[in-house]
Amino acid sequence: MRLRYAAFTSPGKGKEERRNEDAVLAEVDLGLFAVADGVGRTVHAAEAARTALAGLRAGLLDGPAPPPGDVAADKARLLAGVQEAHRRVRALAKARGGSAAATLLAAWVVRGWVTFAHVGDGAAWLWRETVLERACGADPGDLAMAAVIRDRLHRAEAGLLQAIGVDDRPVVPRIVEHRWRPGDWLLLATDGVVDRLTEAAIANRLVEAALRRDPASVPETLVRSAQAAGARDDCTVLVAWRP
C-alpha cells in the first residue's frame, strides 16, 4: 500500500517577519522523506536548505538501480544523495559569495527497510506499536560542539560540525537502518522542535494521534507545542506512515 505523509513548518517565535530557513522533501513514490535546516548565521541559509534537498534527491536517483533485495546498494545510493547535497550547497556558497550551510535528516523507505541519514542536529524517531524509538539525533556531546561551531559562524565562514556545505571535505552522515513494518510511523524533526519537546511529550502526542488513527495531525500539533514552549528557531516536523 502506498505511503502517506504529513508535514508542517513554521518560523520560530518572534521570527514571523523572517523567511523560514527550514525545508521539506516528500517523494512518496520514491519513499524518500527529508527535512533540512539552513544554518541561521550563514548568508544563504534558506536557499542552502532547499538546495540540499534537491541535491539529495538528484544524487539518489542518479545511481544505477540495484538488484532486488540489495540493501547495501540502497544505502550507497542514499549516501550518494547526501554527498550530492553537500556538493551543491558548497557550490552555492562559492557561486554567490558568503557562506551557505544546512543540516539534513533523511529517511528512505525501500524494500522493507527504512534507512535514516543524519547530518547535523535535529532527530528522527520510529513509532511502532505504541513504542517510540529514537532512530538518530544529536547526543549531548554533539550539541555542545554544535554550540561552539555556531559561535564560530558569528566570526568566520564556517558551519555546524558535520553540516552540509561547510567546506570541501566530504560529509560523513550517520546511517541507521530499521525494518519497516505495516503500521510503522517515521518522524523527522528539526532542532527547533527537538530543543523544546521531550521524547515523552512527543510520545504522548503520537499516542493521542494513534488512538484517533490520525497521524496527519501530528506535525502541526508538535510544532505548535514547541512554539508554545518558547521555540525561537524555525520548527518543522514530518511524519510518514503506511496505512
Please check the confidence at residue 147 and state whether its pLDDT lies above 90: no
**Spatial distance between the Cα atoms of 205 and 236, rounded to a whole number of angstroms:** 15
pLDDT value, residue 69: 62
Q: Which domains does the chain have, with CATH numbers?
A: 4-241 (3.60.40.10)
β-strand partners of 25 = 34
The three-state DSSP-derived secondary structure of the chain is: CCCEEEEEEECCCCCCCCCCCEEEEEECCCCEEEEEEECCCCCCHHHHHHHHHHHHHHHHHHCCCCCCCCHHHHHHHHHHHHHHHHHHHHHHHHHHCCCCCEEEEEEEEECCEEEEEEECCCEEEEEECCEEEEEEECCHHHHHHHHHHHHHHCCCCCCCCCCECCCCCCCCCEEEEEECCCCCEEEEECHHHHCCCCHHHHHHHHHHHHHHCCHHHHHHHHHHHHHHCCCCCCEEEEEEECC
- Please say whether the beta carbons of 106 and 32 come within 8 A: yes
Please check the confidence at residue 143 and state whether its pLDDT lies above 50: no
Tell me the per-residue pLDDT of 108-128, one tens digit each, with 9 for 90 and over.
Answer: 999 899 999 999 888 999 988
Pairing of the two strands 102-110 and 131-137:
unpaired
Cell readout for 8 is 508542517
**Spatial distance between the Cα atoms of 107 and 45, rounded to a whole number of angstroms:** 22
Q: How far apart are the first and last CA of the chain?
A: 7
Please check the confidence at residue 167 and state whether its pLDDT lies above 70: yes
Please check the confidence at residue 162 and state whether its pLDDT lies above 50: yes
pLDDT value, residue 159: 35
> Which of 216, 164, 160, 227 lies closest to 193, judged by CA?
227
Residue range 202-224: mean pLDDT, rounded: 91
pLDDT value, residue 134: 86
Residue range 22-30: mean pLDDT, rounded: 95
Cell readout for 24 is 521539506
Percent of the chain with pLDDT over 70: 83
Cell readout for 62 is 542518479
Tell me the per-residue pLDDT of 50-108, one tens digit each, with 9 for 90 and over.
Answer: 999 999 999 999 866 666 667 788 889 999 999 999 999 999 989 988 788 899 999 99
Please check the confidence at residue 181 and state whether its pLDDT lies above 80: yes
- Quote the Cα angle for 222-225-227, to 5°: 110
Tell me the per-residue pLDDT of 185-202, one tens digit each, with 9 for 90 and over.
Answer: 999 999 999 999 998 999
Read off the amino acid at residue 9: T
> Which of 193, 224, 218, 227 lies closest to 37, judged by CA?
193
pLDDT-derived band at 156 (thresholds 50, 70, 90) equals very low
pLDDT value, residue 13: 66
- Please say whether the beta carbons of 191 and 233 come within 8 A: yes
Query: Which CA distances in Å does 208 have to 48, 69, 221?
Result: 35, 36, 11
